[in-house]
Amino acid sequence: MLPDEATSSLGLNRAASSIVLPVHGNVYPIGSYNVTLNIGQPPKPYFLDPDTGSDLTWLQCDAPCVRCTEAPHPLYRPNNDLVVCKDPLCEALHAPGSHKCDNPEQCDYEVEYADGGSSLGVLVRDAFLLNFTNGNQRTTHLALGCGYDQLPGSSYHPIDGVLGLGKGKPSIVSQLSNQGLVRHVIGLAELIVGGKSTGFRNLVMVFDSGSSYTYLNSQAYQFLTSWLKRELTGKPLKEALDDKTLPLCWKGRKPFRNIRDVKTYFKPLALRFASGRKDTTQFELPPEAYLIISSKGNVCLGILNGGEVGLQNSNIIGDISMQDKMVIYDNEKQMIGWGPGNCDQLPKSRSFSFW
């Protein structure tokens, strides 16, 4: 499992160095991860939720703030470097045909998330102090949201803001890439259970580090839960209806301490990605990548029904399924790769399966 402190890296200047951001948190019980970025002049630390499923990086902002949620640090005080309405970054934040500004001298934004949370604010530019693995530091100016009106979502936790790592122009990844620097990736996959195909193919999969859990569409989820219940028939587990940690939990004869106590009862899952040629690549999901142990000592399924949170036909590979994997995003080739990773150590060069 990911420890309470792991690492995340962004490659810079191709062969030069990497930015490594310590990641704090866990899937359960905290239900979130955060990275620390130093922003502003002088630079101040902020805890941001890294999200490969969205583009905009924003901080709760004293502009002044209309509605701000509980945060670990004082509100961000913006400088006067506003992004203007006609800036391409501003246009990229809005749906086609909806790019209109009440004030041409500023770029207003509003972002909404699947859990119902949202942020409303203006786009500004400010200094980001970045630390590299070769010991160098660099200050670069990037656009970010100054959020003065926030609504917490159902999965809310105290945070200063969001680190958008998506593939759109406004994302920090794209901005760094345009400056001479690293995307969320969507692919089509087939669901494999116990080494056998389920018949669920062409599942639209999103790699989203902003989601603690993995989500399948309603049909695939119902198939998976029915299959699991059949597989557990005759095993010393029974459904724990009184445990509301997650929708589906099981109890044993005595409380479980960790996944090792129960993993022999569960078979591995996988997502098989086609490369467009005859070969395929599998994203393996051992029991550790889809189960948690609740505070009651029960084992719970960390794959949830996406239909119940409005995802419709989209499916999400969340933090729980990325544990113990090094996930590599290749912006230039529009590819994603993964391999086993000891996430409490700095990344090293190794072979990865690319899709």
* In the chain, % of residues over pLDDT 90: 52
Higher pLDDT, 310 or 217: 217
Q: Kindly indicate the confidence band of residue 175, based on its pLDDT and cuts at 50, 70 and 90.
A: confident
Tens-place pLDDT, residues 176-204: 767 764 334 456 899 999 999 999 998 98
Tens-place pLDDT, residues 242-298: 999 999 999 999 999 999 999 999 999 999 987 655 667 889 999 999 999 999 999
Q: Is the pLDDT of residue 352 over 50?
A: no
pLDDT at res. 5: 40
pLDDT at res. 276: 56
Quick one: fold of 5-178? Answer: Cathepsin D, subunit A; domain 1 (2.40.70)
- Least confident interval from 44-48, 171-175, 201-205: 171-175
Most confident of 29-33, 74-78, 167-171, 183-187: 74-78
pLDDT at res. 102: 83
Which of 265-270's residues contact partners 24+ apart within 8 Å by CB, and which partners? 265/232, 265/235, 265/236, 265/237, 266/228, 266/231, 266/291, 267/193, 267/194, 267/195, 267/231, 268/194, 268/195, 269/191, 269/192, 269/193, 269/194, 269/224, 270/191, 270/192, 270/195
pLDDT at res. 73: 95
Higher pLDDT, 102 or 345: 102
pLDDT at res. 153: 81
pLDDT at res. 17: 47
* Residue 120 C-beta-side C-alpha neighbours within 13 Å: 8
Q: Which amino acid is at 202?
A: N
Contact 150, 60 (CB under 8 A): yes
Distance separating alpha carbons of residues 59 and 148, to the nearest angstrom: 9
Contact 111, 91 (CB under 8 A): no
Candidates 51, 126, 160, 319; catalytic one: 51
Q: Is the pLDDT of residue 24 over 60?
A: yes
pLDDT at res. 30: 65
Tens-place pLDDT, residues 323-344: 877 766 665 566 666 777 666 6
| Residue spans per domain, the chain | 5-178, 186-354
Candidates 55, 126, 160, 208; catalytic one: 208
How high does pLDDT run on average in the chain? 83
Contact 40, 30 (CB under 8 A): no
Q: Kindly indicate the confidence band of residue 9, based on its pLDDT and cuts at 50, 70 and 90.
A: very low
Contact 104, 84 (CB under 8 A): yes
Beta bridge partners of 124: 82, 144
Task: Please give the average per-residue pLDDT across 31-37, as a whole number.
Answer: 83
Q: Kindly indicate the confidence band of residue 101, based on its pLDDT and cuts at 50, 70 and 90.
A: confident
Higher pLDDT, 339 or 216: 216
Q: Is 126 a catalytic residue?
A: no
Write down the CATH superfamily of domain 186-354. Acid Proteases (2.40.70.10)
Q: Is the pLDDT of residue 14 over 50?
A: no
pLDDT at res. 285: 94
Q: Kindly indicate the confidence band of residue 12, based on its pLDDT and cuts at 50, 70 and 90.
A: very low
Beta bridge partners of 299: 250, 293
Q: Is 51 a catalytic residue?
A: yes
**Domains 5-178 and 186-354 equal at CATH topology level:** yes
pLDDT at res. 208: 79
The model carries a pTM of 0.58
pLDDT at res. 345: 61
Per-residue exposure over 263-279, b if at least 16 CB sit within 10 Å of its own CB, e if not: bebbebbbbbbbeeeee
Q: Is the pLDDT of residue 210 over 90?
A: no
Q: Is the pLDDT of residue 228 over 70?
A: yes
